[in-house]
Structure 1
Amino acid sequence: MQDMLKTALIQTSLFWEDREANRNMLRQKIKQLDPDTDLVILPEMFTSGFTMTPEAVSEEMNGETLRWIKETAREFDIAITGSVVITEQDRFYNRLLFVHPEGTVEQYDKKHAFSLAGEDEVYDTGNDRLIVVYKGWKICPLICYDLRFPVWSRNTEDYDMLLYVANWPLPRISSWDILLQARAVENLCYCIGVNRVGEDHNGHQYPGHSAVYGVLGEQLAFSEKEETVYVTLDKQKITHYRKKLRFLDDRDDFELL
């Protein structure tokens, strides 16, 4: 258990539907990380880009990408998270993988499929939220479109960090900025969003805007270019403001049906 957690947000362009090229590129970026990094966060569908042809890039859970993540996490003694396209029983999932340094794997299937792009027509969705415990931090990892749904993100487990991986395009980037900050404020937690940059095969532009917000909504990091952004989070700040403000004591009780 540790009070300080050093995170690395890898904001990068992606090779379209080329798993090997993306893994090789990301390995080079991870290899260059500061050695005291605790957690590496990759974008949504980091081996392919946001594709609606999952059959072209999908892998089973015992596939090459998960093996690559586990080997990389173990080699550099870091946790790695991001989402990839997974197939199970002839179904496709936009699945976030959280891999601990020793190789333990936790998973979350995107709850809210992005119907505007037809994601709901080709990907199955999950119904269970994931709370990861890593080095004493409780982390709630979610995926892109989930950001628009505050009830799904609501802090009912007293987590310390909300984490969103995304392929969020330029036309709606102001919504990304606003909602990341709002999720931090309403949940009295750190909120991290990792987006990609560049242009995909369909001509969609991605402007980055990967960012980290503190418990009061203060912006701790922000980027619009291809780079790795480092932020060290301090759990004592969460404890301080939750004791001082006690907003979460007044949250509404509810059940998701």
Structure 2
Amino acid sequence: MKVGLFQMDILKDFDQNFEKTKRAILEASKNELKLLVFPETFLSGYYKSSIKRVSDRLSYYFDQLCFMSREYQIDIYGTFPVKENANLYNCGFYFSEGSCIARYKKIHLIGIMGERDIFSEGKEVVVAESNLIGRVGLAICYDLRFPELFRKISTNSKITIVSAMWPKTRIEHWKTLLKARSIENQCFVIGVNRVGSDKNNVYPGNSLVFDPYGSTILECKDKEGLYFSDIDLSSVEKYRNDFNVLGDRRIFSLQ
């Protein structure tokens, strides 16, 4: 099965960002990809004016991505700012076969970067159930530092996708944590990071795909573009049967 990672420079102009998105989906279709993952807040970035405009126009983007997922028979994942009542969430949307089949509100918000000043915290762990791929665990950026979330996801899926905006200053953490999550949970982990910069950070890409053994099967550099790789989900079940780490775990509470 072919999966795609679209590293993009997220501009202040959200319409330009969406044009990039549509071109990436078309290119992914031509290459017969089954899944395409975008970076965190791939239309708005963390530009406050864009966050408001994108959240106001969410139904338009929602309808367009639903249509493209059906038209091109490809699953699509990325995050948007979403208003619900008085709250704004950083929400991952998983599109498949013409509809949004799962929504994941980011649980872990990074305090030192002021994310809580913009978004509210989600509460629910989410695994998408796709007819094209199967069960897919959903995560967003800073979630990567909290292994208990990934352990919960992995009990119900063979692949976890992480949509991120991870800065260059901590890029070695990004690489190490993605690999660790794949080894711990014996699953595929796909991490898609943005490129470019904003007023606060430089983003170096370095999107990655790890297999259940923790081996790197795709590593991107720092250029915008579509990257893709073949993955064999049957290898997850085989490895888990051969070396049953998850069966040996013990559950306990930390106070």
TM-score by length of 1: 0.91
Structure 2 alignment gaps of length 5 or more: none
Over 3 Å counting, the alpha-carbon distance change for 1:124 and 1:136 in structure 2 is same
Over 3 Å counting, the alpha-carbon distance change for 1:97 and 1:66 in structure 2 is same
Deviation at 1:256, TM superposition (A): 9.7
Q: Which residue does the alignment assign to 2:72?
A: 76
Encode CA deviations 1:69-128: one digit per residue, 9 max, x unaligned.
112212212111100111111211000000112324310000001111111122111110
Which runs of structure 2 are paired with 1:91-240 in the superposition (5 Å)?
91-134=87-130, 135-155=132-152, 157-200=155-198, 202-224=199-221, 225-240=223-238
Q: Percent identity?
A: 29
Deviation at 1:53, TM superposition (A): 5.8
4+ residue runs over 6 A deviation: none
Q: Which residue does the alignment assign to 2:24?
A: 29
Q: Using the alignment, how far apart are the partners of 1:53 and 1:250 within structure 2?
A: 49
Q: Using the alignment, how far apart are the partners of 1:86 and 1:114 within structure 2?
A: 18
Q: Using the alignment, how far apart are the partners of 1:70 and 1:149 within structure 2?
A: 31
Larger relative helix fraction: 2
Over 3 Å counting, the alpha-carbon distance change for 1:139 and 1:255 in structure 2 is farther
Q: Which residue does the alignment assign to 2:248?
A: 250
Q: Which residue does the alignment assign to 2:8?
A: 12
Equivalent residue of 2:62, what SS? Answer: helix
TM-score by length of 2: 0.92
**Is the CA contact 1:50–1:167 (under 8 Å) kept in the aligned structure 2?**
no
Q: Using the alignment, how far apart are the partners of 1:151 and 1:54 within structure 2?
A: 32
Over 3 Å counting, the alpha-carbon distance change for 1:139 and 1:256 in structure 2 is farther
The aligned amino acid for 2:195 is V
Over 3 Å counting, the alpha-carbon distance change for 1:53 and 1:150 in structure 2 is farther
Q: Which residue does the alignment assign to 1:41?
A: 37
Q: Using the alignment, how far apart are the partners of 1:55 and 1:240 within structure 2?
A: 43
Is 1:67 matched up with 2:63? yes
Between stretches 48-57 and 140-149, larger displacement belongs to 48-57
Q: Using the alignment, how far apart are the partners of 2:58 and 2:190 within structure 1?
A: 28
The aligned amino acid for 2:210 is Y
**Is the CA contact 1:150–1:183 (under 8 Å) kept in the aligned structure 2?**
yes
Encode CA deviations 1:206-257: one digit per residue, 9 max, x unaligned.
0001000011110000011222111121122111111110001012325799
Equivalent residue of 1:10, what SS? Answer: strand
The two structures, once aligned, show a CA RMSD in angstroms of 2.0
The aligned amino acid for 1:31 is L
Aligned residues: 251
**Is the CA contact 1:46–1:83 (under 8 Å) kept in the aligned structure 2?**
yes
The aligned amino acid for 1:140 is G
**Is the CA contact 1:54–1:85 (under 8 Å) kept in the aligned structure 2?**
no
Q: Using the alignment, how far apart are the partners of 2:254 and 2:52 within structure 1?
A: 34
The aligned amino acid for 1:228 is L
